[in-house]
Amino acid sequence: LDFDALYSPAWDPTGRRIAFSGIRGGKSDLWAVDVETGELEQLTDDPYLARDPQWSPDGGRIAFVTDRGPDTDLEHLIFGESKIAILDVARRSVDVLPGQSGKDISPQWGPDGKSLAFVSDRDGISDLYIQDLETERLSRLTKLVTGVTGLVESSPPFSWSRDGKRIVFTTFMGDGWE
């Protein structure tokens, strides 16, 4: 298959597959490639944005960025804010996280697979949030004047340690990046 562009590769927990966002004809979908055989598997096939896939620790789900929801009107080509969704890999079903507001990007799984951290500008500034997937409780982690952001739009703005005890992020402060 020919792709116009490939973005956001992410290893599955076994190290056997890589998920990525593949762009063809202006349409993005999630794909996975088996690193030993090279076999491609299309994980989504719809007109919505599919970006920044991240495998859950058990490999059964992929969190990603999408524009699906009531504020996207495909008939009139009106695209809503980006949201965090979860793909059940076996069933190919997609569920948008409840309570999404503003632009929500860059999902990362907690080490136990029961929570997701992401960046949201729901209060006007891009800050870090964690959502408990069982209780749907949302917690704000930062409140920065300049916000949490990658060095360029497509770079990851933060990373969560595998043990879940630390998060490192980038922000612009004073006269440079910190």
Which tens digit of pLDDT belongs to each residue from 41-100? 999 999 999 999 999 999 999 999 999 887 877 887 878 888 999 999 999 999 999 988
> What residues are paired with 5 via a beta bridge?
23
- Write out the DSSP string of 25-65: TTEEEEEEEETTT--EEE---SSS--EEEEE-TTSSEEEEE
Angle at 12 between CA 157 and CA 140, to 5 degrees: 35
Q: Are 104 and 119 in contact (CB under 8 A)?
A: yes
Residue 76 in 3-state DSSP?
Answer: helix
The count of other CB atoms within 10 Å of the CB of residue 175 is 5
Which residue is it, tokens 């507001």? 101
What is the rounded distance in angstroms from the CA atom of residue 79 to the CA atom of residue 61?
A: 25
- Check residue 110 and give its pLDDT: 94
Q: Which candidate, 128, 26, 43, places its Cα nearest to that of 87?
A: 43
| pLDDT tens digits for range 12-50 | 999 999 999 999 988 999 999 999 999 999 999 999 999
pTM of the entire predicted model? 0.89
- Check residue 154 and give its pLDDT: 59
| pLDDT tens digits for range 100-117 | 888 888 999 999 999 999
Bridging pattern class, strands 5-11 and 127-132: unpaired
Q: Residue 113 to residues 23, 26, 44, 156, 166: CA-CA distances in angstroms?
A: 28, 32, 21, 20, 16
- Check residue 144 and give its pLDDT: 74
- Check residue 166 and give its pLDDT: 83
What is the rounded distance in angstroms from the CA atom of residue 134 to the CA atom of residue 129?
A: 15
